[in-house]
Amino acid sequence: MPDILHRISIDAPPQRVHDLIAGVDGIARWWTGRPLTGEHAVGSSFGVYFGDAERPAAVMRVLTDTPDQVVWRVTDGPDTWIDTRITFTLRPSGHGGTTLLFAHAGWQQAGEFMSGCSTNWGSYLTSLKAGAESGAFAAYPVGEISRWD
């Protein structure tokens, strides 16, 4: 099964990065630009919304939330996302920074939609990086590079 993989160097401490990926308020700041529903706690689920949508674009169940790793399983959303896992692994790096290893794993097959998602994940992870470092987030719609008509 193909996976989307990214490695990002962030000049912010791992705890700051973790706080932004392990809470619905933080996720909204770097990814969706809109409030999320639900909660980010192991065993719980949260929904992400984009634009003026009335239903979530995707729903994630939190599988793991430790200081060095956050894992979500997609339970609702685009068909190709269902049962995929989104993993954020945090490693301390020199001078108080963080190396973020990101995976959106378990896709049934590679294709144009996966390619667009990979592009957008790169953009949103850049938003996470900029926000953790300086507070200058670029969430949706600014961060969306690959648009779907």
**Section 89-106 average pLDDT:** 96
**Section 66-81 average pLDDT:** 97
- Secondary structure, 3-state, the chain: CCCEEEEEEECCCHHHHHHHHCCHHHHHHHHHCCCCEECCCCCCEEEECCCCCCCCCEEEEEEEEECCEEEEEEEECCHHHCCCEEEEEEEEEHHHEEEEEEEEECCCCCCHHHHHHHHHHHHHHHHHHHHHHHCCCCCCCCCCCCCCC
Residue 17 clears pLDDT 80, i.e. is over it: yes
Which tens digits make up the pLDDT trace of 117-136? 999 999 999 999 999 999 99
Domain boundaries, the chain: 4-134
Residue 11 clears pLDDT 70, i.e. is over it: yes
pLDDT for position 100: 98
**Section 109-113 average pLDDT:** 94
pLDDT for position 58: 97
**Section 59-74 average pLDDT:** 98
**Section 28-56 average pLDDT:** 96
Q: pTM, whole model, 2 decimals?
A: 0.96
pLDDT for position 95: 87
pLDDT for position 149: 62
Q: Which fold has domain 4-134?
A: Alpha-D-Glucose-1,6-Bisphosphate; Chain A, domain 4 (3.30.530)
Do 100 and 125 form a contact (C-beta atoms < 8 A)? yes
pLDDT for position 1: 84
pLDDT for position 121: 97
